[in-house]
Every structure is written in C-alpha cells, then in structure tokens.
Structure 1
C-alpha cells in the first residue's frame, strides 16, 4: 500500500511539473505574440501622428506646463487657461514626470505663459510619442491576464485590444491616455484572477487616483474583496490600510494645504449638465428624444407647453433644466439609477464571490455607468468594451456579444473625427477590426479543443460552425450602414443646411438601442452566474 501511495504521489508531482512547464511555455508563446502584435499596432500609431487633434491635445500640454511650472499647492488653483486640471493627483504626477522629458524635447512645451494651441512639430511628436510609450502598460496588462489561456484564445484578446479602433480613434487621433489607464485596470484584474486579492485591490486604488471615473466599478471590487479576501479581521485591516495609504499618498498633500474641497470640485463638475455636447448613445439619448417628441406632439395638439430652456443640439451643457415634458434629471437621480442597475451583480458576487465571476461583473458595472451615468462621454464605452474583450476568451456567448457591442461602440465614436481627411482612416479601422474579430472568434470557437495531461491544448478533428450574429443583430448592424450613408450622402441632399444636428442625433439614438440591448444581455450573463 505504501508503494502504491508513493507511486501515486510521484505520478501527481510529475503531472504537476508537466502542467507548470506547459503553462510557462504557453505564457512565453503568448509573450511573443504580444511583442509581434504590439509592434504592428505601434507602426499603425506612428502613421497616425499627423492626424487630427482635438482640444484634449492642448489640455494635456497645458497640464504638462502647470505641473512643471507651478508648486504643488497651485496645481488645482491655476486658471491661466480654460483647460484647468481636473484629473486626480496621480495623473497630475504622471504629467509632472512627462514634463521632464517634454522640457528636454522643447522647453516651450512646459511654458505656462505661452497661450493656447502650441502646435510645433516637437510638441506633436512628443505628445503622440508619450501616448504610444504609455501603451506598454496596456500590452503588459493584457498579457498578464491572458498568459494562462490557450494560445489561440490569447490571440483573440490581443487582436481585439491592441487593434481596437476605439483606442486608435480616442487616444492616437483624438488624443487621450485611455490605453495607459486601461492597462492599470487589466493589471488589477490579472492579480485578482491569480488570487492575489491584496495587490489587485491596491492596483485598483492606484487606478482611481489616476482617473476617478473608473470608480463606477468600486462597489463591485468592494463586495468581491470583502467576501473573497477579508475572511478575518487582519486581512480586512491589511486591505483597508493599504487602500487608505494609496489615497493618502495621492490626496494627502492637498489635504495638508486645505485644498481638498477645491480638488473635489475640479473632479466632480456636476454643473456641466446631463449630456455631453455629442450625446453618448445611452439611456439619456433616448430620454431626450422622447421629451422632444412629446413636446412637439403636445404643441401640435394645442396643449400649452412652456418651451424648454436648453437647446438640445447645443449639448445640454451647463443647464440642468433641459426637459420640457419629462421629469428633470439630477446627478443624484443618475447615481441612484446606476447603483440600482448595478445591484444584481453585487448580489451575485456577495453570494458567489468567485474570481471567475468578477470580470463580467466589472464589465457590466461599467456598462451600467455608461447607460445611466451623468454627463457621460462617448469615449467611456472603452471602459466596458476592453474588459469584455478579455471575458470573450472564456465564453463563446460573451465573445459573440463582444463582437456586436464593440462594433456598435466603435461606430458611435465616428463623430469624434469630423474632418474629411480622417474619414477613410476611421472607416478602414472599423471594417478591418470587424472582419478580423469575426474570423478570430470563428477560428477560436468552431474547433473543439481538449486539454491533454501535459496541460497543452490540442485541436480535435471534429469542427462545429457557430453563428457569430443572430438575424436581429445582423439587421441592426446593417442599420449602422444605413445611418452612415444617410448622414454622409442623403441628409445634405434633402435638407441642405437645415437640421445640421440630425445626423449626429441619429447616430447617438440608433447606437443607444444597441447599447441598451447589450446591457440587458450582460445582465442576463450576470444573472446566470
């Protein structure tokens, strides 16, 4: 009996070593894929350097100047430009670190008295290069999360994330640092996936001190870590002290200077209004249109209705009283709706605090924030599309949903690039990404894969085709083409210079239907956990 037990133990250890070796080999192969794909993606980004730049380009240049030229206690008080610092302190420190390299490139980049719109070739190359370099964190986060998965599924995630038209449009043309910030989120999720809850929680706290809008998922993190990690008082204290230490490191200096109120006013400017200038395709876009329709119908029926104060085509910025018929929406109502929408995933995580359930709950939380949040930017769709790209490698159903919602989301970003010279770029990016994602999902899930004793994945000879799109989703995506053709060709022929807002409103309202549908589908995924 002892001999048999010894043989079983040896055999188990041997299989474990084989499995560990296979996983290491798989991770190394995945890293090679990351390097190759990241290199190709970087080449595309370099080609986009001369492209259109939004006002965010000058915003971040001015932040470089603020942090380089002023003492710490003046960062959140400066008003030498309309583009005041309104990101949390860690991002300000990030700009401060970049300012050293900016000064070496061109001292005028960090000149606070230079004025607006400094667009010398030196600043363009530096700013574009800083975003490209910071994307290294996105590559690292994606690889670290996916490295234990089969190589063919890793490829799916890397293609979906590294070649995301949304990241190309928002970061490398429009100009922001979403890839860098999403990389921190992916790193946090990767640590939680590995069971290292303390580090995952700390990294998420660091992310919130870079950009506070990621706090939408904070309730999900709180419930998960409370149930999955805090099994005793010591772990609870360790996590609490760690997170508080991160927050104090970020906000402590401003607390010392008595400026914490000023910092918070900059971070949460609720006076900007319910919707951004271009309505994000969410619930409020439909709400606004319904209010407008009711207004006109009642006026046609002879019902006296006081005309609304805000002009809907002006973006509803800076005026809370924007609805003529439907109830006015306040930040408190918006926040309450977000929390109510998020409640099912919090309950699920409380009952089943499993790391396998966390990713889809995080994506669902960010979707809920996008659908019902206050003054949501269309760019915020990246917060749930990128996590869904990771969740797609775990489930064919989620992979199909990712394909649909990513296509809708990326199309909804088209109005960010309104100059004719970028039209072909955004169109080609979306078409290529859609085709490649379709093919990759098909190749990844149409084959039956089996896990051998060594831990390696081998392909069976039997293959089964799966439909990526249902008929209703296919019809909806064809509708995107109709909306785009109308906006580009027929609107001007029909209305000339009249109703200039209509094409944008059609994109927003039509895409909001797809977004709401996907939110409901994600809710179904959450309820099935």
Structure 2
C-alpha cells in the first residue's frame, strides 16, 4: 500500500537512495585483511592492482618482474578487471598518490584512502549495476504492478550477500554482475549481438561469469535454431560467433603479441594450484569433505575431471530446455540453474560465488518472491565464517535484520499471486505454501548454530565445528534451491521468445 501511495518514480528513487545509504554504512566497517600484515587481504589486493597497472607498462601487468612480484597479490582476473584497476588507480593517484605509490604503498591504510576505495565500489554500482537492474526491470516486468516492480528492485539492490561482500569484505563483483544482468536484459529484448558483447564484458571482468556461459549459449542457440531455414540458422550462429571472437580480440589485444603473453595471462586465471576449495564454502565438495576425504582419495587432475563431469551433468538439463524452448524469463532461470551447478560442483569455488545464482533469482523476485526472500538470507549466512574474520559480524547482523524486517515476514505467508500464473506456475505456488515451515526451520537452525558458537567453546578435536555446520546447512539449502529452479524451468509455461 505504501509503495502504491508513493508512486513508481518516488518508490524507485527511495529504494536506490536507501541501497546507497546502506552501502555507505557498511563501508564504515572493517574490510578484508585490515591491519593484518604481511599480505593483508582482498582490500590490499585491489589496491595493489591499482599500483601495478598505474605504474607499469601494460605488457608487465601479468608478468613476474622485479617491479611486479606475482607472489604478492599478482593480478589473477581477466583484462577488464585490470583496466578497471588502472582507471580507479588513476583517479586515486590524483587525490592521494601515496596510496598507490610503487613498492612503498604496500599495506597502505589511511582513513582517506579507505574512503576513496570504498567510493570506487559505490561508483561501480552507480555506473554499472544499478542501471543494469533497472534495465532488467523494464524488460522483464514492464507490465507488472507497482509493488512487484518495487520488490524486484529492492531484492536486487539490497540482498545482503552482495552488499556485504562488495562493500564490507571489499570486491568489485557488481561490475561483472552488472554486465551479466545487462546482457540478459538486452538479449531478452531481442538485441542478441549487443547482449553477446555485454556478456563478453562480464566474462572478461571476472572469470566466475563463466557460470552463466551455458545459459547464454543455450538460449542464443535456441533462438538461432528458430530461424526459418538452415541457412539463416547457420548465419545467425556464425554472426554471434564472430561478435564474441571480435569482442575478445579487442579486449585482449595488448596481450596477444607475442602469443606466449596471452598464455601467461591465461595461466594466471586458472585457479588449479589452489586446490578443490578454500576455507568454508556451502558446496558439495566442502560440505561432504568431513565424511569423504576428496583431496586424499583423488589426485588434483582426477578432482578436476570429477568436478567437470559433475558440473556438466547437472547443467545439461537446463541447457536442453532453453535450446528446445528459449524464452525471456527462461534465460534468467537457466542462468540461475547453470550458476548453481557450477557453485555446487565445480573446482575451486569461493564463498562469493553464490552471488552468481543469487543475481537471476533476485531479478525474478516478483515471480519467485519466496525464493528471492529466503535465498539471499541463506547466502549471507553461508558467508559468515568469512565475514567474521573480516570483523563484519555487526554489519552482518544488522543487514540481515533489515532484510528480514522488510522481506521474510511478508513472504512467509502463502503468496496470493501464485495461482495467477506467471513464471511461478505450480512450482512457485508449492514453494510459497511451503515457505512458512521452511522459513521457521531454516531460521531456527541458523540461530541455533549462531547461539551455540557464541556461548559454547568448540571441542578441542573439532575447533571449526560451527563453521562446518554452517557450511553443511547452507549446502542443503542451496541444493534444494537448485532442484527447485530446475523443476520450475521445466514445469512452467514460458512466454514465447521474441
């Protein structure tokens, strides 16, 4: 009622303003590695990349030299991340050159430099992510009610996990996620070439965007195969293939000559040296590792093959559906399903990788309101071991309470719109009516683990038992969500693609 009384424009401005205010508030808290020499953390990595890209020639950005020790936070993201570091580094250099001075700025931490760095993340949201979310709302929910459009914007901009990782822990995931969201909106509106370019930008900002590759490939192939003749089908595929190759060539141009330089960059992007997983992440391999010692039973090569096979096996059904019957909202569901497959089963998954399935789920919030309210809270919970190390417990608790106050109570009741059709179909209705029990059980277990960790010391033989319990509980939630999204993708009556 309040949203309707305010009107769509005012509600949009208010939600964006609140989302920015909360980002600034989270930014007042600590960040990854604050005051922890000798390597500090992700904050220092981002600052160091600015230092390297501003002061060294582009050919040396990914090369181990006397001025660029790759063992100290060497660049390990694709070229657009490096270009972004250069751009923000140039801006910070003009305002506080000591913050990115070559060699002497390692571990540089001042209140003013922290403010500049925090502002750069907010700028990324303003320039890339927020416009992409607004574009998705216009394309996918142009004819939705004022309340539904407001809920979609709220879910996408204020889901706790993304805000805590980018503006607390300190990262720039909003850029790659923004490009991916923009690509989905553009493809859904019929502009396949521009959409392919935007997805290439996302993939070349962070290699995690590979999680969406099966969805975009299947959807675009399905659209191409709907052309009337074999010649036009082949032509459509060839055109998109040329666009992708040309986009990659432009982005990678400084690193293509000699070819060995490109191979050197690619070797920096492959995380095989880091092992099957790091720390505590709510995926299959980590959750089952207390029972099955994967790293002891299999060699690294065997684990890579095992992960590849499991990921491919679980992603194929969603791909097949979109090739057979591509649709606008089906693209978002396929993105979620594909990202879940990669998160749950691929090699070297980080806690932050859950942001990839979360994005399309929140973009579909009006159609899957229960899932869009419940899953972001679980995702934030799954990240707590990481956030706790960063000193973000207070920010975590406050943001989860804010999220719960505005979303979970209203979504815990059976959804009145579930029977009205839309992308939810029967699956959405089932989840909506089952959510009260799921919600109470999830909250009860999560609060129980938090309470136990707060008042009871872990057993000496199991010092990380609470982190492991968080991981296991999160995995069960994510696996259930992945199955639900897969079933929803196949069971719903998709709208016809353009």
Under TM normalisation by the shorter chain, which class is it? Answer: 0.7 to 0.9
- Tell me if the contact between 1:344 and 1:526 (Cα under 8 Å) persists in the aligned partners: no
Which residues in structure 2 correspond to 1:52-451 (within 5 Å)? Answer: 52-54=30-32, 55-78=41-64, 79-80=68-69, 82-136=72-126, 137-147=128-138, 148=142, 149-229=144-224, 231=227, 232=232, 233-257=234-258, 258-276=260-278, 278-291=279-292, 322-323=295-296, 329-394=302-367, 398-418=368-388, 422-439=392-409, 441=411, 445-446=415-416
Choose the corresponding residue for 1:40, options 3, 18, 25.
18
Q: Aligned residue for 1:503?
A: 466
**Partner deviation per Cα, 1:388-443 (whole Å, 9 max, x = no partner):** 0112212xxx3222333222111111122226963232112112202311255479
What is the alpha-carbon distance in structure 1 between the residues aligned to residue 150 and residue 222 of structure 2?
Answer: 33
Per the alignment, in what secondary structure is the counterpart of residue 313 of structure 2?
helix
For structure 1, which segment, 121-130 or 469-478, has the greater mean C-alpha deviation from structure 2 after superposition?
Answer: 469-478
Q: 1:354 to 1:168 in 2, by over 3 A?
A: closer
**Partner deviation per Cα, 1:99-143 (whole Å, 9 max, x = no partner):** 221111111222121152110222211110000111012111111
- Tell me if the contact between 1:156 and 1:441 (Cα under 8 Å) persists in the aligned partners: no
Q: Aligned residue for 1:17?
A: none
What is the alpha-carbon distance in structure 1 between the residues aligned to residue 390 and residue 245 of structure 2?
Answer: 48
**Partner deviation per Cα, 1:158-187 (whole Å, 9 max, x = no partner):** 111222211221011100011222111111
What is the alpha-carbon distance in structure 2 between the residues aligned to residue 341 and residue 511 of structure 1?
Answer: 19
**Partner deviation per Cα, 1:60-82 (whole Å, 9 max, x = no partner):** 10110111011111000144351
Q: CA deviation at 1:247?
A: 0.4
Q: 1:64 to 1:420 in 2, by over 3 A?
A: closer
For structure 1, which segment, 159-168 or 325-334, has the greater mean C-alpha deviation from structure 2 after superposition?
Answer: 325-334
Q: 1:142 to 1:111 in 2, by over 3 A?
A: same
Q: 1:146 to 1:235 in 2, by over 3 A?
A: same
For structure 1, which segment, 31-40 or 84-93, has the greater mean C-alpha deviation from structure 2 after superposition?
Answer: 31-40
Q: CA deviation at 1:326?
A: 11
What is the alpha-carbon distance in structure 2 between the residues aligned to residue 48 and residue 220 of structure 1?
Answer: 33
What is the alpha-carbon distance in structure 2 between the residues aligned to residue 196 and residue 328 of structure 1?
Answer: 40
What is the alpha-carbon distance in structure 2 between the residues aligned to residue 43 and residue 338 of structure 1?
Answer: 38
What is the alpha-carbon distance in structure 1 between the residues aligned to residue 342 and residue 390 of structure 2?
Answer: 32
Choose the corresponding residue for 1:517, options 480, 486, 492.
480
- Tell me if the contact between 1:189 and 1:200 (Cα under 8 Å) persists in the aligned partners: yes
- The count of corresponding residues between Structure 1 and Structure 2 is 455
Q: CA deviation at 1:470?
A: 4.5
What is the alpha-carbon distance in structure 2 between the residues aligned to residue 417 and residue 509 of structure 1?
Answer: 17
What is the alpha-carbon distance in structure 1 between the residues aligned to residue 414 and residue 63 of structure 2?
Answer: 52
Q: 1:46 to 1:405 in 2, by over 3 A?
A: closer
Higher CA-based Rg = 1
What is the alpha-carbon distance in structure 1 between the residues aligned to residue 93 and residue 84 of structure 2?
Answer: 14
Q: 1:86 to 1:419 in 2, by over 3 A?
A: closer
RMSD: 2.7
Q: 1:275 to 1:120 in 2, by over 3 A?
A: same
Q: Any stretches of 5+ residues in structure 1 without a counterpart? A: 1-25, 293-320, 452-465
- Tell me if the contact between 1:283 and 1:512 (Cα under 8 Å) persists in the aligned partners: yes
What is the alpha-carbon distance in structure 1 between the residues aligned to residue 90 and residue 419 of structure 2?
Answer: 50
- State the TM-score, normalized to the length of structure 1: 0.80
**Partner deviation per Cα, 1:273-301 (whole Å, 9 max, x = no partner):** 0011x221111123211126xxxxxxxxx
Q: 1:238 to 1:522 in 2, by over 3 A?
A: same
Q: Any stretches of 5+ residues in structure 2 without a counterpart? A: 33-40, 422-431, 493-498
What is the alpha-carbon distance in structure 1 between the residues aligned to residue 245 and residue 9 of structure 2?
Answer: 34
- State the TM-score, normalized to the length of structure 2: 0.85
- Tell me if the contact between 2:412 and 2:436 (Cα under 8 Å) persists in the aligned partners: no
Q: Aligned residue for 1:49?
A: 27
What is the alpha-carbon distance in structure 1 between the residues aligned to residue 389 and residue 320 of structure 2?
Answer: 46
